[in-house]
Amino acid sequence: MRRVLIVSPHFPPDSTAGTHRVRLLAPHLAEHGWEPTVLTVDPRDYEGALDETLAASVPAGLRVVRARALPVWLTRPLGVGDLGLRAFEGLWREASQLLAHERFDALFITIYPAYPALLGPLLKKQFGVPFVLDYQDPWVGEWGRSVGGGPAGGADFKSRASRFVATRLEPLALRSADGVTAVSRATYEQALARTRGAAPAATAELPIGWDEADVEFLRTRAASAPRVMPSGDGLLHIAYVGTLLPTGIDTLRAFYAGLARLRECAPADAARVRVHFFGTSNQRSADAPPRAMPIAREFGLEPFVSEQPTRLDYFAALQALTDATAVLLLGSSEPHYTPSKVFPAMLSGRPLFAMYHVESTATDLLCRFGRPPAVQVISYGGDGPRACADAVSSAIGQLVAHPVCDPALVDRRVLRDVSAPVLAGRLADLLDRVSGARVRTQ
C-alpha cells in the first residue's frame, strides 16, 4: 500500500467550503491502493463555530493529524486572519516530523488557503517526496483586480496587495509541483499558462463531487433535523444555499430582473414564488451582513425574498435543499467557476434552476444531467448575464407550472463520474504517475 500525506488546513469540524475537498477524497483512496494521512489544523484554532455533526460523518478509520496555528486573538490586531499564514509553521513542523519518521510516496496539498502550497517545494527539497498541488480556487484570480474588500465589493489596497503577493508566490509552488489538479481544467490550465517553467508530470481535473455516505448520513438524522423551509402553504419555495460572491452579484441582479419581469407579465404566477437565501455571507456570526436583501429592495422584491446570511452547517444545508420546492444555483462572471454546491443540489431530487457562465463546467454537467423543466440552465458569455431577464422570467414561470421534478427528465448516471470513489480513483492514478516519475528519475 502506497502512502500519501495530504495537507488540508480546512477539515471537519471546520465548516467552511474548503473542508469538503479532502473530506470526500481521502476516505476512498485506500480502495485504489493509497493509504492517506490527513494533516490539518487543530479545531481550537479555527475561527468561528464548529460543525460537530460534519465531524461525526468522517470515517473513524481515517488517520488525521492536527497541527496548532497562531490564535486569532493574537494575529487579528495585526491585520492577519488567513488560516494558511497562522498555521504555516505548525503544518511545517508536523509535516517534517511525519516525513522524517515515516515513509510517504507522495505529498498532496490543497488550496485555499494558498500559503501552505509553499510547503510543497520546501518538503520536496528536504525529503525528496513528489509534490501535487491542488486548486479548489485560482490562486491568482479576480480578487484584487475587479473585486475585493472595498466599497461595493470593489478592489481595495489590501486585496490588490494580496493579489500582488500571489503573483510572486504561486510560481514558486507551481514550478516545483510534480502534479497539478484542480476542480476544473481551465483553473489549472490558466495557472500553468501564466507560470513560465512549470512542467508537472501529470495533471487532472477533479471536481469537488459528492458521496453517497452523505446521503445515508442525512437520512439517519432527517427525523430529528430542524426545518428551515416553510411547507404546506401551496407556494413555490426556491432555496439558494451558499455564499454570494462579489463576482456573482451581476448574476443575482439578472435573476431579480427576471423575477420582476414575471411580476409584471404574470402577477398571479409571481405571487406564488418565494426565494430563500441561506448562508450568503459565508460567516457564522449572528450579525453577518445580508447580501441578497439589499439588492432585492432595489427591485421592489422584498415580499418575495428572505435571507439568512449566517452560514448553515453542512447537513442543515442539505436538509434545506431537500425541503425546498426547487433549488437555485447562481454562477459567477469567472468562466472557471465550478461551485461545490452544484453537487448537493443535483442530489436533492428537486427541480434545478441554474445561471452559469457558458464556459463553466457546471453548465455542461447540468445540461447532461437533465432537461427542462426538471433542470433549467441559463448560460451567459463574457458580456455577463444582464440580458437574461426574459429567459429567467420564462424559467420561473415553468417552475410555477411544474413544481415537481420528473425523474424521467433526469439522468442520474451523470452523477457517477463525479462521485467521491470515482474521483479518488482519478487522484490515485495521478499519484501513481507522479510517484512513478520520481522512481524513474532516481
Query: pLDDT tens digits, residue range 327-341?
Result: 999 998 877 777 778
For residue range 362-385, list pLDDT tens digits in order. 899 999 999 999 999 999 987 778
Q: What secondary structure letter does DSSP report for 54?
A: H
Which range, of 102-116, 327-341, 390-404, averages the lowest pLDDT?
Answer: 327-341
Instruction: Please answer whether residues 9 and 87 qualify as being in contact, where contact means their C-beta atoms are separated by less than 8 angstroms.
Output: yes
Fold annotation for 213-415: Rossmann fold (3.40.50)
Comparing CA positions, the residue from 193, 198, 194 lying closest to residue 176 is 198
pLDDT for residue 226 is more than 80: no
* pLDDT confidence bin for 225, thresholds 50/70/90: low
- The dihedral built from the CA positions of residue 265, 266, 272 and 273, taken in this order, carries a sign that is negative
CATH classification of 2-209+419-441 is 3.40.50.1820, yes or no? no
Q: What is the pLDDT of residue 160?
A: 87
- CA–CA separation, 200 and 192 (whole Å): 9
For residue range 147-180, list pLDDT tens digits in order. 777 887 788 888 888 889 989 999 999 999 999 9
Amino acid 19 reads T
Share of the chain above pLDDT 90, in %: 67
Q: What is the pLDDT of residue 207?
A: 92
Q: What is the pLDDT of residue 337?
A: 73
- CA–CA separation, 120 and 118 (whole Å): 5
- Sheet bearing 179-182, strands edge to edge: 63-67, 34-41, 2-7, 106-111, 131-135, 179-182, 202-205
pTM value > 0.75? yes
> Among the ranges 90-94, 144-148, 229-233, 248-252, which has the highest mean pLDDT value?
90-94
Q: Show me where the domains of the chain are located.
A: 2-209+419-441, 213-415
Q: What is the pLDDT of residue 240?
A: 97
Q: What is the pLDDT of residue 350?
A: 95
Q: What is the pLDDT of residue 440?
A: 36
Q: What is the pLDDT of residue 224?
A: 63
Mean pLDDT of the region 223-246: 84
For residue range 176-215, list pLDDT tens digits in order. 999 999 998 989 999 999 999 999 999 999 999 999 888 8
The burial of 409, by beta-carbon neighbours within 10 Å (0-12 exposed, 13-18 middle, 19 or more buried), is given as middle
For residue range 291-315, list pLDDT tens digits in order. 999 999 999 999 999 999 998 888 8
Q: What is the pLDDT of residue 271?
A: 96
Instruction: Please answer whether residues 378 and 391 qualify as being in contact, where contact means their C-beta atoms are separated by less than 8 angstroms.
Output: yes
Which of 248 and 9 is assigned the larger pLDDT? 9
CA distances from 285 to 20, 122, 190, 309, 311 (A): 21, 36, 35, 9, 8
* pLDDT confidence bin for 442, thresholds 50/70/90: very low
Which of 229 and 423 is assigned the larger pLDDT? 423
pLDDT for residue 389 is more than 60: yes
Q: What is the pLDDT of residue 424?
A: 97
- CA–CA separation, 32 and 9 (whole Å): 24
Q: What is the pLDDT of residue 267?
A: 96
Mean pLDDT of the region 339-359: 91
Q: What is the pLDDT of residue 441?
A: 36
Mean pLDDT of the region 24-32: 97
Equal fold, 2-209+419-441 vs 213-415: yes
- The dihedral built from the CA positions of residue 151, 342, 42 and 57, taken in this order, carries a sign that is positive
